[in-house]
A and B are shown apart, each in its own frame.
Chain A
Amino acid sequence: MNPPADASSGARPVWRARAWWIVPALCVVWLLSAVWQFHDPHTGFSNLIVFGERNKTRLVPAIRDLPLFFHPGGGYDGQFYVQIATDPLLRDPELDRSLDLAPHRVRRILFSWTAWAAGFGKPARIVAVYALQNVVCWLILGWLSFRWFPPNSARNAARWVATMFAGGLLWSVRDALLDGPSLLLMAIGVLALERGRSWVSAIIFGISGLGRETNILAVAAQWQFIWTWRGIVRQVLQIALIALPLLIWFDYLYSLYRSSLFTTGHVMAGPLEWFLWRWRQVLPDVIAEGWHASSRFSLLILVSMSVQALFLFARPRWKDPWWRLGFAYAVLMVFFGRPLWEADPGGLRVVLPMTMAFNVLIGQVERPGLFWPLVVLGNLSVLFGLHLMQFPGTAAWL
């Protein structure tokens, strides 16, 4: 274990490289301390689920009498998914009364199932598990990300921090949403692909499709451009395998909801229509008000997403599964409709795989003069994430 005497001259760079591990270690502590702020001895971590006062009387009976933290107003999406978790096969039609748009919510069943299973079907445990499963996924993703960002240099440490503190990912942790756990499954799938386990990746991507419909875009990563007959047949079968779980689940949902299942909420629109609309709204506000503008975080998010998408469009790497995945989400972003761009754009969460792909691929940029500006501009949404999570020490300047 001890280094040989003649290696003492090389010990310094090794020590310096290992010193970068302190960055993720501190980040984990910082994240956990931020999460702990949302704990209350009476209501546990239910603050993270963002139950709304307005929906208090509509909660499913299973959790109605639990000690929960209620936010003023209508709450956020996590409150619906946790209620679905109390009835994971949606047997009771009364459940629909507790959801804002039942046919839309029930399509995304996976992380309600995981909460139900890990909570052993007990409502109080389901709520606790659902609130924290994003945190668990964050920790696992952080560990997994060392494969792409081994903390042995400033460049890698910066990319790890940028990925793990991405605005969309922290938003998912803060509000117990589906995007963080979905990203974890995507990353595991890409890892399997990189190791040549394409059937495993197809299974994982297929499962992730149950988390949210857009996860099905993982087919882009799965398609490896192998043009032999055997390769084509194998890839087609793997893509069918990716689609299979979602098709079966939709078939089940169709038996319950019939045509109303395909309610969309107009989340998609013509290319760049609402993206440009949001830019036109945000820029004058920020120019007039500066850092105090109400839409300052929207600007940071728009810059981040634009830089990420432009980078992926400008540097095609068809052989790289991360690029294919990121590219698919960048194309999706172009077609986002108004609901995904208004306020602080929720589209930021949807394109999390693009954010991670951007941070993985930017490692190929050698010139520091290009690398560092890209890392910073492409990850400005981190500031929004820090603001959302109310990280200790950030309130004074964010």
Chain B
Amino acid sequence: MRVTAKAVSAVIVLIAAAAMCSCGGADNRTLTPVVDLLDTLDQAERRPFGAPFDVAPVTLRGETHRALATPGASRVTWDLHLPDRAVFQVLVALKEDAWTTEGDGVYFRISIAEGRTQEDLLARVVNPYGQSDDRRWIPLTVDLGAHSGFKWSLFYHPRRLLWRIGLHTNAGVPGSVDTRGDMPLWAEPRILR
């Protein structure tokens, strides 16, 4: 009886430990960059085709980051395998010239896709003309834990999948044709673990 109780306890502890290992997001962890997406921009799919997608250091309010400048309506997608417990980080902003140009801002959206699924991970309107608080680099962080690492599943193995990370920009208001001041920047998009 005592042996059985010990065995049951051991199994419970093991299951709890395994669950703790397989769960948990970006909290209370020291994150290490694994992939700098700007380094592989030439392999990424960029739309509109032929439009300028320039990478250069950009300084806003004294803070300098290597950033990708895209057209107002754009999409950049990378195909990649994700490390375990992956986290995506990026900084978004509009160029300084846009801060005083009247307009409705830019809608930034981060997506992840694989096979038949596409999911929006995060979206935010940045409108430095209308919102003075948007006149800076805005950090965005997305926990990709659900899309990476080991899962208790017979069929869902995120480690083996080729994920498609997408960075999208559009007019600040859905359906808007106001493109004034639409000068989006994506700075240091990175996958960390």
- Which residues of chain A come closer than 8 Å to B154, judged between CB atoms? 248, 251-252
Q: Are A260 and B117 in contact (CB under 8 A)?
A: yes
Q: Give the CA-CA distance A136 to B152 in the complex, in Å.
A: 39
- B156 and chain A: residue at smallest CB distance: A255
- Which residues of chain B come closer than 8 Å to A260, judged between CB atoms? 117
Q: Are B117 and A258 in contact (CB under 8 A)?
A: yes
Q: Give the CA-CA distance A248 to B119 in the complex, in Å.
A: 23
Q: Are B155 and A252 in contact (CB under 8 A)?
A: yes
- B147 and chain A: residue at smallest CB distance: A258
Q: Are A251 and B153 in contact (CB under 8 A)?
A: yes
- B153 and chain A: residue at smallest CB distance: A251
Expressed in whole angstroms, the minimum distance between the Cβ of A173 and any Cβ of chain B is 33
Expressed in whole angstroms, the minimum distance between the Cβ of B163 and any Cβ of chain A is 11
Q: Give the CA-CA distance A260 to B119 in the complex, in Å.
A: 9
With an 8 A cutoff between CB atoms, is B6 at the interface? no
Q: Give the CA-CA distance A251 to B119 in the complex, in Å.
A: 18
With an 8 A cutoff between CB atoms, is B116 at the interface? yes
With an 8 A cutoff between CB atoms, is A87 at the interface? no
With an 8 A cutoff between CB atoms, is A320 at the interface? no
Residues from 39 to 97 in A contacting B, C-beta threshold 8 Å: 93, 96
Q: Are A256 and B153 in contact (CB under 8 A)?
A: no
Instruction: Bin the interface of chain A by size.
Output: 10 to 19
Expressed in whole angstroms, the minimum distance between the Cβ of A88 and any Cβ of chain B is 15
- Which residues of chain B come closer than 8 Å to A248, judged between CB atoms? 154
Q: Give the CA-CA distance A314 to B155 in the complex, in Å.
A: 46
Q: Are A256 and B119 in contact (CB under 8 A)?
A: no
- Which residues of chain B come closer than 8 Å to A251, judged between CB atoms? 153-156
Expressed in whole angstroms, the minimum distance between the Cβ of A94 and any Cβ of chain B is 9
Q: Give the CA-CA distance A254 to B119 in the complex, in Å.
A: 14
Q: Give the CA-CA distance A203 to B115 in the complex, in Å.
A: 33
Q: Are B117 and A254 in contact (CB under 8 A)?
A: no
Q: Are B115 and A93 in contact (CB under 8 A)?
A: yes
- Which residues of chain A come closer than 8 Å to B119, judged between CB atoms? 258-259
Q: Give the CA-CA distance A248 to B154 in the complex, in Å.
A: 8
With an 8 A cutoff between CB atoms, is A36 at the interface? no
Expressed in whole angstroms, the minimum distance between the Cβ of B121 and any Cβ of chain A is 11
Expressed in whole angstroms, the minimum distance between the Cβ of A95 and any Cβ of chain B is 9
Q: Give the CA-CA distance A120 to B155 in the complex, in Å.
A: 26
- Which residues of chain B come closer than 8 Å to A256, judged between CB atoms? 115-117
A interface with B by C-beta (< 8 Å): 93, 96, 248, 251-252, 254-260
**14 further interface pairs, Cβ-Cβ under 8 Å (given A254-B153, A254-B155, A259-B119):** A96-B116, A248-B154, A251-B153, A251-B154, A251-B156, A252-B154, A252-B155, A254-B156, A255-B155, A256-B116, A256-B117, A258-B117, A258-B119, A260-B117
12 A-B pairs in the complex with CB atoms less than 8 angstroms apart: A93-B115, A93-B116, A96-B116, A251-B156, A252-B155, A254-B155, A255-B155, A255-B157, A256-B115, A257-B117, A258-B117, A258-B119
